[in-house]
Structure 1
Amino acid sequence: MPARRASNLLRPALLALLALLLAVPLAAAGTLDRAGMERYFPAPLVVGERDATLPVWPILKQEAGSYEVFAYAFESIDLAPIPGFGGTPPDLLVALAPDGTFRDVRVVSHHEPVFLEGLGSEPLFAFVEQYVGMSARRPIRVGRPNARGSGAAPQTTVDGISMATASTRVINESILAASLAVARAKLGFGAANVGLKVEARPDPGEAPTVAELTARGWLRRLTVSNERAEAAFRDAGVAGAGDGPAAAPLIDLTFAYLNVPAIGRTLLGAERFAALTRELGPGDHAVMVVSHGPENPLGEDFVLGSIPDRLTVTQGGLAVNARDMAIERRGAAPALPDGAWTILRITGAAGFDPSAPWTLTTKLVRERGQIFPEKIAREFSADYALPADLFVREAAEAGPSWTDPWRARGVELGVIALALAGLVPVLARQRGLVADRRRFPMFRLAYLAFTLLFIGWSAQAQLSIVTLVGLVRAATVTHDLAFLLYDPPSLLLWAFVIATLFVWGRGTFCGWLCPFGALQEFVAWLAKPLRIRQVTVPPRLDRALRLAKYVVLAGILIAAATGSPLADSLSEAEPFKTAITLYFVRAWPFVAYAIGLLVLNLFVYKGFCRYLCPLGASLAVLGRLRLLDWIPRRAECGSPCQLCKVRCRYGAIGADGRIDYPECFQCMDCVTIIHDPGQCVPEVVARRRGRRIALQPVAAE
């Protein structure tokens, strides 16, 4: 049989490919030497000596006759080799200033499929440029496209890229993970509360007074006198003090951590504390700051809900993102002095550990000069610490950035999961909806429309040979499959498709869940009104053409296993990226190819799927492990009845009535026919003769 011969030919090829996968030990490492670094950092900057213990290059700049560190430059792949959606880590050149801000971020190399002859690399270059000026001291998240223009904080958010959410999240995590590794080693920050969840213990019933909180150090005061302020600004040649005696306070702040019930209830009262607890998110923290002095660090123009310019919470050298909560300001303890006050929210993502010492810093600003005044700032700080027994400490969930898309795409995942759950009983109960020749075709068309419009164009969950290329590269380079987690809808579909491979074979994906396959089916509908006659491919040519997709598959996987960039080019045999991922918005050769395949489909039904699709070939190979020959047959199938063979537009039924399961797309047309007493020829004949005939399994090809 042709399929059996193909299987015999493919077996040694697959064994050879497996040997290649095990034999090629490629390494992921940076590629820039000193000359490469000097191209990115030309004179007057100077590239110093590479660090002996960490793959970091100091970039020096001459200041006042001596060289000072302008930035630390490094490649992300050396410090955070996180696999991208192409299976290999992107390599980003990052220049980190001594204060933790990004001087520069460049793309050195990448294998992200959507940016390779897809969107092009320009959107990726523009994406990483957003990091310049941002700080590694703050968590940075990838928002939606134009998120910053829609009000997201530009200090902590970068605009995402449509159709590239998985890739941009991987790149964001690569930049931040590598930068924090350098920051901890070189800049002395970023080590606080890593992988730890710290929460206040439930209230033991204690109700201390404000005086008792002050005596314990749970309510602290930061006071800066006129004399101290004047001394701080003396070297700048400006007056730093306010009006009044030298010993009088200029800045006078009272502050405390509120999550501990004994503190929060005393300062806010039971009702207001309960309201605060409800408003805080899981893992969030609240810090109260009340200003009593004449110099208010909040400022007259302070906007509720914003980040105070002159108040900073730091821990372990890391500035923690603390934002005003914009809640009701009345109801504080009467024993607290009057004054303007704020409650600062610190989100759980900030890595803040309230059981460890932290610092509140206030900034005093003065101006020097009249025509072009120069702002001079001085900072004043007070430490704060609470007993460790007030808190429960436990290992936090890892929470890497791949968890974000799972939360953000929960609705899409739910819809797809429901659709998959609804498909299983329809396909499994052959005497149910499938047997109804009027209702089942309508159900199939509706499901294919869902596959094309929602799974494909909306959820961007078109499965692709690119994923297999990524798996091969992961096996040979990174040994890390985490890149799959950045695309939840596709991963859900992969899990379902792999499970159904062992039950029904290739057809569940190719016939029901492939958006491009669905698009071809709808285009094929145009053949009838356009009066286009389908071309019958001669059997011998048909058998030869069916082997072509296996050749394409082998070429792609071998190229990927040997580290050849040819794998990305060969993967373009699929038109999925053009037609589904990029909505045909692409360079004209790719669009012409995709449209050409759709036009071919008008003459040769699903010609791409049958003859060229490398993903279909891989599923056909794995589908040979299926457990069931699930399509019912009769003894008369093939001899004398040829109805199912004639009706099968995929050519998956032989002249003897046997099913070629690796070529079956599970359209269920033959199942509908065999269960319909008005269509199945042997049953029609038997009824006329007053007999009943039974279904029986027939061995597959």
Structure 2
Amino acid sequence: MPLVRFAIKLFSRLPGLAGYLGVASLLLLVASSAHAVTLDREKLAAYFPEPLIVGEKDPELPVWPLFRQMRSDKGWGDPVAVGFAFESLDFAPVPGFSGTPINLLIALDNMGKFLDVKVLSQHEPVFVEGLGPAPLDKFVKQYKGLGITQSIKIGSGLNKAGQAESANVFIDGVAKATASTRIVNQSLLSAALKVARARLGFALGTDPDLVGRIKTHLYQPMDFPALERAGLVTRKTLLNKDVEAAFKGTVGERQDKIARRDPDAVFTQLMVLYLNVPSVGRNVLSDKAWKYLMGWIEPGDHAFLVATRGRYSFVSDNYIAGAVPDRLTLTQSGLPIELRDLNIEGTPKLPADWSGPDVQWRVFKVISQASLDPSQPLDFALSVTREKGQMFPEKARKDFVLKLRLPSDYFDVSASDNKTWHALWTDRVWEIGVLCAALALLTVLLARPKWVTASPRRMAQVRTAYLLFTLGFIGWYAQGQLSIVNFTAAIQALRAGRSLDFFLYDPMTVLLWAYVVISLLLWGRGTFCGWLCPFGALQEFIAKIARALRLPQRRLHTRTDKRLKYLKYGVLAVVIAMPFISAPWTDKAVEVEPFKTAITLGFHRSWPFVLWAVALLAFSAFVYRGFCRYLCPLGAGLAVLGRVRLLNWLPRRAECGQPCQTCRHRCEYQAIEPQGKIDYDECFQCLDCVVIYESDKLCTPLIIQKRNSRVVPVQPVPVPTAASGTDA
């Protein structure tokens, strides 16, 4: 396995004990991951008891038909098909934040409404041992009774009372699990749409959440000329010679005697009106017909009035009302859309010259499942067929396309995809702006540290303020705590051949990782660990409080400190190995990090996890940032990746370490070697050593230099004179 070979090669480059721990752990723990147990017919029957019946699995598609046993006065009748049951994993294996897809059991009825939704398996960190599975189960229950033709948005359930009829539905999300619920939403709707398109006759085109919407509130009284000026009437005129030219070179050429006799006469005129637009429907139809139409079309349905005038109609002489028109087709973006005849009482208000026996009109409906998009062009094609021969005639067919494009004033364009990550970035635009500004400030501080390091007091104030921002905004508010879970999730997704798009559901994570990657190349691991880790900031504040309370501080012996720092590489090796074994083991292994408990969930968790987080924070009160330095697998991973660092950017003097040891003794992280060299794998870039380096009151070489360069003024000794009364 390439990932395993890469991991072994990476860990083998670590020094001493760390390298042995890493390689040994990987060799012992790598194995085949367990596959999810999927459902069979017997297990499904437990989810759908009588009067529902689970049929045999479809041989072409991994779905089970659902039937309902119908009872009447005469007893039990034949089962009636009511929908399909299926697993989301078979159709939309969208990775969650663990890198493993969430698997949902979905029951969809014949109209595209959800009969039921249940969680079969999930490994979302926030729902495994964080909030627990109950909030997720409650979240998916909200889909029951909703349909895939509705625009389902995660927000607040303000319109729950009318959600069955509403085109836009808001369901309640889960606090501290926004990204995970978005992933669940996409998995559920994507899987349901694929089944609906394959088995329920839904269009193969646009997702219904991404189509434009007719402005149903917009109405203006108009006569027919005004409708034409507004671009709401679409016409096409075909002359005999136009049709004859289309058949040139085919068996249908010169088969129309009328066309040969009078080529400039009208063959037919085709007109299409979009009745959903109130300014069209209410002005063309009578009030009674309009109300009737609005009562028959459901949310997402579309209605068109099609009329022809001339010797050729869009319906043949033997056309049966209620059937699919035999000469008229509708396509959008190259995909066919079915037209269904809809009877409307009364006569529409057509132009005055559109009267007489050669005028034919009908209203056609397009059902919501077709996902027709009113913001995109529609192609109505009138088919003309010619024959040659008597007994076994040869046929030729030509289509003449009328392109309908609704003016933009009459529809709202599709919004960003609420089911995927786009909406999350839009909704959090101000948070993204604040984070980007803070990262830009940090870049300036680290790239040009002279101003901030010129004064110990200024440095302390700036660092304290930034760490407060990291803990409060990045951590507790924006939920931007990077984690080893990001590593394990990526491994599980790549190993399964899945995309890493799921990271895009958390813009804070994406932006922070992008910045961390750049900072690893420039400065090493310490940029994140020292400035951008919320749990690290919390430890630092705990240490400051402990010192203010005069609690004893323990500085480990250099040799002990160095050995303990190798421990985190062993922890990293074990955690990284877990995705190769099983997802449940991975879920448990990543709990070595207290980030989810202390930052993501704010200590609202079961007591073992809270106890572990509190114990680590208590440890940091006596041993400065002890978890970061000795146990953190994320810190170990960043230290390994930070070996690609391009710059040794923290300033050093020749006297550093030989003989001056000031910076080394004052370094809280014990990241400066006795020879004065900075160990960038363990440096947290607090800049304390740079403050000392710049100060002629703290840096011993500068103090000596200042003392040696001090000029002592020499005063001349006064010479005695006679006037002073001294004998010659």
- TM-score tier by shorter-chain length is 0.7 to 0.9
Q: Which residue number corresponds to residue 59 of structure 1?
A: 66
Please name the residue that 2:48 is paired with: 41
SS at match of 1:140: strand
Q: 1:161-187 CA deviation, whole Å, 9 max, x = no partner?
A: 111011100110000000001101111
For the pair 1:185 / 2:208, whether they are aligned, the reply is no
CA distance in 2 between partners of 1:631 and 1:487 (Å): 33
What is the DSSP-based 3-state SS (H/G/I as helix, E as strand, rest coil) of the residue aligned with 1:502? Answer: helix
Deviation of 1:548 (Å): 1.5
Contact 1:559 1:566 (8 Å CA) reproduced = yes
Distance 1:18 1:387, change over 3 A: farther
Q: CA separation of 1:30/1:82 partners in 2, compared to 1, >3 Å: closer, same or farther?
A: farther
1:421-440 superposed Cα distances (whole Å, 9 cap, x missing partner) = 01111111132222322212
- In structure 2, the residue matched to 1:171 is 184
Preserved CA contact (<8 Å) 1:57 1:74: yes
Could you tell which deviates more after superposition, 496-505 or 30-39? 30-39
Matches within 5 A, 1:597-612: 597-612=616-631
Q: Which runs of 5+ in 2 are unaligned?
A: 1-10, 72-76, 215-222, 236-270, 303-335, 340-349, 353-367, 381-399, 712-728
Of 586, 590, 603, which residue of structure 2 is paired with 1:567?
586
- Point out where structure 1 has 5 or more consecutive residues left out of the alignment: 201-206, 220-253, 269-286, 300-306, 320-332, 336-345, 359-384, 693-701
Equivalent of residue 624 in structure 1, options 618, 629, 643: 643
Asked whether the 8 Å contact 1:28–1:77 carries over to 2, the reply is: no
Secondary structure of the corresponding residue to residue 15 of structure 2? helix
Distance in 1 separating the partners of 2:230 and 2:459 = 75
After superposition, the Cα gap between the structure-2 partners of 1:255 and 1:596, relative to the gap in structure 1 and judged at 3 Å, is farther
The residue type equivalent to 1:418 in the other structure is: A
- Determine the C-alpha separation between the residues in 1 that align with 2:190 and 2:35: 16
1:74 lines up with 2:81 in the alignment: no
Report deviation, 1:96: 0.3
Task: Write the distance in 2 (CA, Å) between the matches of 1:446 and 1:135.
Answer: 49
Structure 2: how far apart are the matches of 1:561 and 1:133?
A: 39
Whether 1:355 and 2:362 are equivalent positions in the alignment is no
Provide TM-score, normalisation by structure 1.
0.72
Partner of 1:240: none
The residue aligned with 1:158 is: 171
Q: Deviations over 1:490-537 (max 9, x none)?
A: 110010011101111111001100011111111112112321010122
User: How does 1:428-439 map onto structure 2 within 5 Å?
Assistant: 428-439=447-458
How far did residue 68 of structure 1 move? 1.3
User: Are 1:591 and 2:610 an aligned pair?
Assistant: yes
Q: Alpha carbons of 1:463 and 1:216: their partners in 2 closer, same or farther (altered >3 Å)?
A: closer
Letter in 1 for 2:50: A
- Normalising to structure 2: TM-score of the pair? 0.70
- State the 1:214 CA deviation: 12
Structure 2 counterpart of 1:243: none
CA RMSD of aligned residues (A): 4.1
Structure 2 distance, partners of 1:295, 1:80, is: 45
CA distance in 2, matches of 1:212, 1:5: 76
Counting only pairs closer than 5 Å after superposition, residues 630-649 of structure 1 correspond to structure 2 as 630-649=649-668
- Matched residue type, 2:52: L
Q: Which structure 2 residues correspond to residues 454-465 of structure 1 after superposition, within 5 A?
A: 454-465=473-484
How many aligned residue pairs are there? 565
- 1:505-520 mapped onto 2 (5 Å cutoff): 505-520=524-539
Structure 2 match to 1:209: 225
CA contact (8 A) 2:94 2:101 kept: yes
Is the Cα–Cα contact under 8 Å of residues 516 and 528 in structure 2 kept in the other structure?
A: yes
- Secondary structure in structure 2 of the residue aligned to 1:559: helix
- Which deviates further from its counterpart, 411-420 or 476-485? 476-485
Which residue, 545, 554, 561 being the options, matches 2:573?
A: 554
Q: Residues 53 and 151 from structure 1, CA distance in 2 versus in 1: closer, same or farther, beyond 3 angstroms?
A: closer
Q: Distance in 2 between matches of 1:45 and 1:614?
A: 50
SS of 1:162's equivalent? coil
Alpha carbons 1:355, 1:386 under 8 Å: kept: no
Question: What is the identity, as a one-letter code, of the residue corresponding to 1:109?
Answer: S
Separation of aligned partners in 2, 1:165 and 1:140: 15
Q: How does 1:278-677 map to 2 (within 5 A)?
A: 289-290=282-283, 293=286, 295=288, 312-314=299-301, 351-352=373-374, 354-356=376-378, 387-388=402-403, 390=405, 399=417, 401-677=420-696
CA drift at 1:570: 1.2
State the identity %: 45
> Could you tell me which residue of structure 2 aligns to residue 112 of structure 1?
124
2:89/2:103 contact within 8 Å kept:
yes
Which is greater in Rg? 2
Q: 1:20 to 1:504 in 2, by over 3 A?
A: farther
How far apart in 1 are the matches of 2:103 and 2:376? Answer: 36
- Larger CA deviation: 68-77 vs 188-197: 188-197
CA contact (8 A) 2:12 2:23 kept: no
Q: Distance in 1 between matches of 2:88 and 2:35?
A: 11
Q: Return the letter of the residue paired with 1:143.
A: G
1:223-242 → structure 2 map (5 Å cutoff)? none
Q: 1:571 to 1:216 in 2, by over 3 A?
A: closer
